[in-house]
A and B are shown apart, each in its own frame.
Chain A
Amino acid sequence: MSREAYAYFSPHLAIGNPKDYINLKGTSMIQKIKRFDKRQCLVSILPILGLPILGLIIVASGCDNQHYDERLQMRVQKLDSDLMNRWSTSGVVVTEVTPNGPADRAQLESGELISYVIAEYPIKTVSDFNDAMKNGLEEDNNFVLYLKDKLPLRVALRRRGDNVGLSVEGSGTVRVKEVQPGTPAANSDIQVGDIVEKIVDERKIYSLDDYKKVLAKLSKQQVTFRTTELIGVKIAAVSALGNLGDVRAIEPLIDIFKNSTELSLRKASISSLQRLVELSVLNDLFQQFQRANVNQLPADSIEPQHLEAAAILELLTVDRTENTATLEAPFGTQFRHRSEALYEKINEGQLAELVQAYIQITVEPEQEIRRACLAILGILKPVSAIDALVTVLDNSAEIPGIRFQAGLTLSQIGEPAVDALIAAFENGDTSTKDIAASALGGIGGTKARDRLIQALENTSEPAIQLTLVDAIAKIGDAPSLQALERQRAQYQADEDSGIRIFLDEVFKNLEQKSM
């Protein structure tokens, strides 16, 4: 078998980037295999060495699940045994940092989960290189090589003692002397004469024992920890905060939404904000309960649309026969005490302003987030968002569904959006006209209606005609119907005309409705 089967070099980009962990997948398998070997070895030695060793092992493995690191002056704790299986997380967690100790001065915080210990070896001499390589390969057959002006390379060997295929020379500046043919080094981007800057050894921590062992070996000037995020915990916390309806959550959620680099976390936070906005709309309803200081009111004393909205959010149950509306315990009964504060905070205007910045595809590439922002605007209905919404509606680079949602949001804002929609209708392309007309139909009112009728009478473009007919039918008042009748009369003779067929359909529906 050739050497390539045992060792490989792979480009190692952007050290420190969390996404980088994917690169480690390949090596963790090797580590597992090796760990297994070690245990097997232990099993085979045991019968020979007998009970004294067994006793020692029991004492050693029976150590506490906590460890105070005297040198760093911090306490670390073993993770729950099933954390690895459930969340693919390993390491130790910092539970206590002694004030003003080395860990504290480095701003390592309690709660951080140490997953890697990173040792960095600057290469100034040939023996620096050889030692670092030996160290790096000794434990887990894995390190990262930094060459000047080149991307970092991850070096991983399948078996201890395999040849990397590199030798170096020089002092002060260490250069590649030879790349042995047939080795992985020969197949990678390494050239004779490349300057070796450093070797970084990233060691994954599996247990408290691992931690102690690795730390004991590093007698360097410094130690670097890489900490991992249990993203699931934060996502769960963000979602829970959306459900709890507490005003204190708003600022932190906005902060995560604006600043987090984790997309999943940003998505969770905007959907939690959306939930909080939906809850805040029901403030009037909850205040009705709060003022009476009860959890049950006669159903007919509450506005029907409030009842419906709250029932959809599963916050209260309505019993028509008993005529009762009862807040759902535990949430509904507790939320009435908090709804006022939430309502006030959300209507301060800060949130509306924030989300309108994120509805543009140029600002926010993630469509799920743009949609959530539009939904929030549809509830808050800020007049200040009209221009931004028209830009989305008119953007041919945007997904049609989102352009339509922008139109819907404008129709939710209502009357104040009419002028902007008329302008969009007059100047936009066919899709824009389509969406704007439909939004105008949704808003209704004299001004929107007259403009739509006028447009219908002046256009001969079939697609636009259909949209306009649909929008005018939605308004459905007497002048609208008269205008549609006029159209029908105009196309009466034309058997195959799409607009005639559509108009027949519209009138049929209207008749059915009035029946």
Chain B
Amino acid sequence: MKKIWLALTLVLFIFGCGTQNENLAKGKELIKSDKRRKEERAVREFKLAIQQQIDNAEAHYLLGLYNSQEFYEPNTTDWEEASVTERGKHMFLAYQAEKRKYLERLVFETLRDDDLDIQNAALDALKRVYNQGDRKQLLNQLQKAIKSSDNRDRHNAHWVLGHLGQDDPNTIVPLLVKLLEHGRTETRLNVVKALGETGSEEAIPALAALIESGAARSERDREEPEVRQLAVEALGKIGGTAVPELVKIVENKGSSLRVDAIRTLAVLGDAKVVEPLLDALKEQSNRDVVVPLN
């Protein structure tokens, strides 16, 4: 009797798996083919696959990846379900079913896609991971990516960290500040950009220190000029609260970043800037000054 039950369960299981896999496999086959509207048809299969097996990681991921509002009439249920947020949700569900695999995939693969919607869906999924999933693991992967030798990974990681920092600067900004010590210049460039994108005033002191390092006594303590230039831009992105720091650069006559700071301030439109700029115009120069010594 026991054996019969076992056999029956096994048959049912195989049968069940078979139908789920069938839709998934069909969808995957379609994607690989050169059939007309293959993605639209594949998406239908992925949806069916999920109906069969609610926690099928791959089906969720592929649905998030390939679904698109272009397939549907606007304002229909299907159309709404193809929004970036919904696609991000599916990618997150894939992560929930298979954490390690899909976290890595999202960070190092999905974000690289040329399609802006896919990038945004991945961002949405990663935000969900940050809030509902294994935050520590996510931050480890993002740090790995921003330290990577591949420019795309660094860029994508900075983008995600910048966004995460907008919502949770208290965690992200200190993490980024620590990364400013990393040996790779390109990593520091991306870290600086991310700090700007957090828009958080918590980032100001670190950026200011970096900018001021240009006149450090030993070369070792001086940050690269390009990183320092980006730090000025980052202050501009932070905006209002960074204005005093930008003004300080304008007032430092020995700084190589005065022009950058002025250009940044011009866009911010703050009236506090007018006086320092007028002072800069009054600076004496291009003349011979004779100083008698007695």
A residues lining the B interface (CB < 8 Å): 16, 18, 62-65, 71-72, 77-83, 85-87, 92-95, 102-103, 105-113, 118, 220-230, 232-234, 236-241, 243-246, 248-249, 252, 256, 330-331, 334-335, 337-338
Contacts and interface: CB of A to CB of B under 8 A. Distances in A.
Interface stretch (B13-21, B139-147, B282-290): B282-290
Contacts of B286: 18, 227-229
A430 to B, nearest CB: 46
B259 to A, nearest CB: 4
B273 interface: yes
Q: By CB atoms of chain B within 10 A, which of A63, A243, A244, A249 has the most? A: A244
* Cβ-closest 3 pairs across A and B: A240-B266, A229-B285, A331-B269
B216 interface: yes
Interface in B99-157: none
B284 A83 contact: no
A268 B225 CA distance: 27
18 contacts: A18-B286, A65-B215, A85-B225, A95-B254, A105-B291, A106-B289, A106-B290, A113-B285, A222-B290, A222-B292, A227-B288, A234-B283, A237-B278, A240-B265, A244-B277, A249-B278, A252-B278, A337-B271
Given A106-B292, A227-B285, A233-B280, A243 B259 contact: no
Contact of B239 (A102, A238, A330): A330
A112 B283 contact: yes
B205 interface: no
B188 to A, nearest CB: 15
A252 B281 contact: yes
A335 B281 contact: no
B263 A81 contact: no
B4 interface: no
Interface in B79-96: none
A244 B273 CA distance: 9
B293 A71 contact: yes
Contacts of B77: none
A362 B287 CA distance: 29
Q: By CB atoms of chain B within 10 A, which of A62, A82, A252 has the most? A: A82
A16 B253 contact: no
Nearest to A116: B288
B218 interface: yes
Contacts of B263: 236, 239-240
Interface string B218-240: 11001001001000000000011
A237 B214 contact: no
Contacts of B288: 16, 118, 224-227
B289 A236 contact: no
Given A82-B256, A95-B253, A95-B254, A222 B291 contact: yes
A36 B286 CA distance: 29
B266 A62 contact: no
A192 B275 CA distance: 58
A108 B284 CA distance: 9
A77 B289 contact: no
Contact of B215 (A63, A80, A107, A335): A80
A201 to B, nearest CB: 13
B289 A80 contact: no
B285 A236 contact: no
B268 A111 contact: no
A63 B218 CA distance: 9
B293 A221 contact: yes
Interface residue range, chain B: 35 or more
Q: Is the interface of A mostly helix, strand, loop or mixed?
A: mixed
Q: By CB atoms of chain B within 10 A, which of A111, A112, A118, A243 has the most? A: A111
Given A63-B217, A65-B216, A220 B254 contact: no
A247 to B, nearest CB: 9
B294 interface: yes
A80 B257 contact: yes
Contacts of A230: 258-259, 285
Contacts of A225: 288-289, 291
A16 B289 CA distance: 10
Nearest to A333: B269
A86 B269 contact: no
A220 B293 contact: yes
Contact of B240 (A81, A227, A244, A330): A330
B215 A81 contact: yes
Contact of A243 (B266, B285, B292): B266
A108 B265 CA distance: 29
A111 B284 contact: yes
Interface in B237-267: 239-240, 250, 253-259, 262-263, 265-267
A234 B281 contact: yes
Nearest to A222: B292
A228 B288 CA distance: 9
B98 interface: no
Nearest to B275: A248
Nearest to B212: A80
Contacts of A71: 293
Given A71-B293, A234-B281, A237-B262, A338 B271 contact: yes
B274 interface: yes
Nearest to A234: B281
A236 B215 contact: no
A108 B291 contact: yes
Nearest to B240: A330
B249 to A, nearest CB: 10
A95 B274 CA distance: 21
Given A240-B263, A240-B266, A252-B281, A79 B291 contact: no
A63 B215 CA distance: 12
B29 interface: no
Contact of B254 (A78, A105, A330): A78
A65 B270 CA distance: 32
A202 to B, nearest CB: 10
Contact of A331 (B214, B250, B267, B282): B267
A473 B271 CA distance: 48
Contact of B287 (A77, A95, A226, A335): A226
A147 to B, nearest CB: 21
Given A85-B225, A109-B284, A241 B269 contact: no
Given A112-B284, A225-B289, A228-B285, A334 B255 contact: no
